[in-house]
């Protein structure tokens, strides 16, 4: 944060780069209709630099703040590169097609909504993409739901719940990697810490969809032609076998054993490549190509081609560049003291860890509402609140969960957000569908909004809110991460010996 010899900006000046950046983002997203926030964030970084110069900082000072934060994120960038490789080779190996195939064949009319949620969870978890799941399998499920006589908004709610559940906890997901990147936590520790909210939210949603499935289905049969077309195409183009799930099981086993994420995921790449050559007859050069450029196939079935033509290192470059620019923007805001001023104002009104946790979820949700971008809703609050959590003596795993829930999960529930706009367009839920009642999918996407509600409840009840471990505290000190002295805002001092508030350049 700001160094002691520099004057902190006033609240209006501190808010200026944030508000102007949101304005430029709004023009990009809503006026031009272009969901690429890279340039607006770069402009925001430049505006923040001007604020820093006004405060007496040199460009060298600001640059150090920018690159310090980017340096902290490099391990997660390495994970994103590995994730791109693993998606490409897992499709080529038949691992992803096998997951999709076995998910599709479990569908039955009586438990359609529950099965739809489970199926989308499986596909999204295996691919690490909610949008890809919604736009392919989700779209097919909408057609089947219509055949059952189920209202579109019910089916859409189940699809969104499942798809974004998988996106939230998949180690292959860009947002799941982004949250620990901006808060300085471990990927697999972050995923484990989301389970206390994710699992109950999914079980509640599953129970509701199971009951609703018997109440909203109208009598009569349904055509499974589209689903059969997908499963047939999968069988014609891939060997389908439970044995092909071994690469996924290997990564899960390594995660359970708490192995480091990068070696664990790379082991999945190697296992997927060997499986692709042994089971699908893929050559070694093809494995290299799929790892770099992604998998490519033409089956003649649009849903399959759209779902499986993806992956590779190059597919992650959009996300990686966004992560670097967003974190650079956050680093500039931190270095100039803008974040400190904004947080100081928040902390004068927040009197407890529970209040801070609520504020973090609320800030992520508010950024989603205003900026319309799920990535910024994770990156900006994540960087903003990290020093505050260190000052409380609570683990920043609480923060990574908060921004994931306020960012990833709330995105599809906001119609003008990039996530919500995609869901509405892909599933045909907008005005073109003839009725605004289809927007009822928003409250019916139970898993998405129940999880953050549970997260807030846990904070106030004092459960599932881990304190910082000695190892985590040592990591903060070694990395030079900033710590907010909460006693300056009327909070009780941190436990003696737990952590000492520090200022960093």
Asked whether residue 49 is domain-assigned, the answer is no
335, 482 contact by CB (below 8 A): no
Amino acid 145: pLDDT:
80
Backbone angles phi, psi at 467, to 5 degrees: -80, 160
489, 347 contact by CB (below 8 A): yes
Asked whether residue 18 is domain-assigned, the answer is no
Instruction: Walk along the chain (505 residues) and give the pLDDT tens digit of each residue.
Output: 444 456 789 999 999 998 998 898 888 877 887 767 789 889 999 999 999 999 999 999 999 888 887 886 677 688 778 888 988 899 999 988 888 888 777 777 778 899 999 989 988 887 777 887 887 678 778 877 876 778 889 999 999 999 998 888 888 787 888 899 888 888 889 999 999 999 999 999 999 999 988 876 654 545 567 677 888 888 999 999 999 989 988 887 886 786 777 888 899 999 999 999 999 999 999 999 999 999 998 888 776 787 788 888 998 888 788 778 877 887 888 889 887 788 778 777 777 889 999 999 998 998 887 666 788 788 888 887 888 888 778 899 999 999 999 999 999 998 877 788 788 878 878 644 445 778 899 999 999 999 999 999 999 999 999 988 888 877 776 666 666 655 554 555 444 333 333 333 2
Kindly report the three-state secondary structure assignment for every residue of 136-171. Answer: HHHHHHHHHHHHHCCCHHHHHHHHHHHHHHHHHHCC
The 10 Å Cβ neighbour count of residue 235 is 12
Task: Record the tokens describing residue 308, joined without a space.
Answer: 């499986």
The structure tokens 């392919």 sit at: 136
User: Residue 467's beta-bridge partner residues?
Assistant: 394
Asked whether residue 347 is domain-assigned, the answer is yes
Asked whether residue 64 is domain-assigned, the answer is no
Task: Record the tokens describing residue 45, joined without a space.
Answer: 């970084």
Residue 5, SS3?
A: coil
Amino acid 485: pLDDT:
56
Distance CA 433, CA 456 (A): 36
Asked whether residue 440 is domain-assigned, the answer is yes
Instruction: Find, among 266, 307, 268, 272, the residue nearest to 287 by Cα.
Output: 272
For the residues of 274-299, what is the DSSP string, one character each? HHHHHHS---HHHHHHHHHH------
The structure tokens 């650079």 sit at: 328
Distance CA 26, CA 228 (A): 42
Backbone angles phi, psi at 394, to 5 degrees: -95, 150
Task: Record the tokens describing residue 284, joined without a space.
Answer: 């070694």
Q: What dihedral angle (degrees, nearest 10) is formed by the CA atoms of 11, 410, 459, 323?
A: -60
Task: Record the tokens describing residue 199, joined without a space.
Answer: 């699992």
Distance CA 104, CA 227 (A): 7
Amino acid 1: pLDDT:
44
Asked whether residue 262 is domain-assigned, the answer is yes
Q: Tally the domains of the chain.
A: 1
Distance CA 495, CA 505 (A): 25
Asked whether residue 477 is domain-assigned, the answer is yes
Instruction: Find, among 255, 250, 254, 251, the residue nearest to 192 by Cα.
Output: 255
Asked whether residue 316 is domain-assigned, the answer is yes
Q: DSSP state, 495?
A: P
Instruction: Find, among 351, 344, 374, 331, the residue nearest to 459 by Cα.
Output: 351
402, 453 contact by CB (below 8 A): no
Burial class (CB in 10 A: 0-12, 13-18, 19+), 17: buried
Distance CA 174, CA 360 (A): 20
C-alpha separations of 397 from 184, 404, 472 in Å: 9, 11, 10
User: Residue 394's beta-bridge partner residues?
Assistant: 467
38, 319 contact by CB (below 8 A): no
406, 452 contact by CB (below 8 A): yes
Instruction: Find, among 330, 264, 285, the residue nearest to 71 by Cα.
Output: 330
Report the run of H or E that residue 59 belongs to, with start and end.
helix 59-93
Distance CA 165, CA 169 (A): 7
Domain range for 405 is: 69-324+336-505
């Amino acid at each position: 944060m700001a160094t002691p010899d520099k004057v902190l900006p006033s609240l209006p000046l501190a808010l200026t780069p944030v508000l102007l950046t949101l304005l430029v983002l709004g023009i990009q997203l809503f006026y031009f209709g272009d969901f690429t926030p890279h340039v607006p964030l770069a402009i925001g970084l430049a505006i923040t630099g001007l604020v820093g110069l006004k405060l007496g900082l040199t460009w060298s000072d600001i640059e150090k703040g920018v690159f310090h934060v980017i340096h902290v994120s490099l391990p997660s960038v390495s994970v994103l590169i590995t994730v791109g490789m693993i998606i490409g080779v897992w499709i080529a190996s038949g691992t992803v097609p096998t997951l999709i195939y076995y998910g599709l064949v479990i569908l039955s009319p009586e438990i359609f909504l529950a099965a739809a949620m489970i199926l989308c969870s499986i596909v999204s978890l295996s691919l690490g993409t909610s949008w890809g799941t919604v736009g392919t399998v989700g779209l097919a499920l909408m057609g089947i739901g219509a055949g059952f006589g189920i209202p579109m908004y019910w089916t859409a709610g189940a699809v969104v719940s499942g798809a974004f559940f998988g996106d939230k906890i998949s180690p292959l997901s860009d947002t799941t990697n982004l949250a620990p990147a901006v808060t300085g936590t471990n990927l697999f520790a972050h995923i484990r810490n989301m389970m206390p909210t994710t699992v109950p939210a999914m079980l509640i949603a599953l129970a509701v969809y199971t009951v609703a499935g018997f109440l909203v289905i109208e009598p009569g049969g349904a055509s499974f032609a589209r689903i059969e077309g997908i499963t047939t195409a999968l069988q014609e183009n891939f060997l389908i076998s439970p044995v092909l799930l071994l690469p996924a099981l290997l990564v899960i086993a390594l995660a359970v054993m708490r192995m480091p994420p990068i070696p664990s995921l790379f082991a999945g790449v190697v296992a997927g490549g060997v499986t692709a050559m042994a089971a699908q007859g893929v050559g070694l050069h093809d494995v290299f190509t799929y790892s770099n450029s992604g998998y490519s196939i033409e089956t003649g079935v649009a849903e399959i081609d759209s779902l499986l033509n993806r992956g590779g290192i190059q597919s992650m470059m959009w996300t990686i560049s966004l992560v670097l620019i967003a974190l650079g923007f956050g680093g500039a805001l931190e270095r100039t003291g803008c974040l400190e001023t904004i947080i100081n104002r928040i902390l004068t009104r927040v009197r407890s860890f529970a209040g801070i946790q609520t504020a973090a979820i609320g800030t992520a949700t508010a950024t989603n509402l205003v900026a319309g971008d799920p990535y910024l809703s994770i990156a900006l609050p994540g960087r903003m609140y990290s020093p505050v959590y260190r000052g409380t003596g609570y683990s920043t795993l609480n923060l990574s969960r908060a921004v994931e829930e306020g960012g990833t999960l709330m995105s599809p529930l906001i119609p003008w957000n990039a996530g919500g706009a995609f869901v509405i367009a892909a599933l045909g839920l907008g005005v073109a569908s003839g009725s605004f009642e289809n927007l009822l999918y928003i409250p019916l996407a139970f898993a998405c909004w129940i999880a953050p509600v549970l997260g807030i409840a846990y904070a106030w009840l004092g459960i599932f809110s881990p304190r910082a471990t000695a190892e985590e505290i040592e990591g903060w000190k070694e990395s030079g991460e900033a710590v907010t002295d909460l006693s300056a805002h009327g909070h009780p001092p941190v436990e003696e010996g737990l952590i000492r508030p520090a200022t960093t350049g």
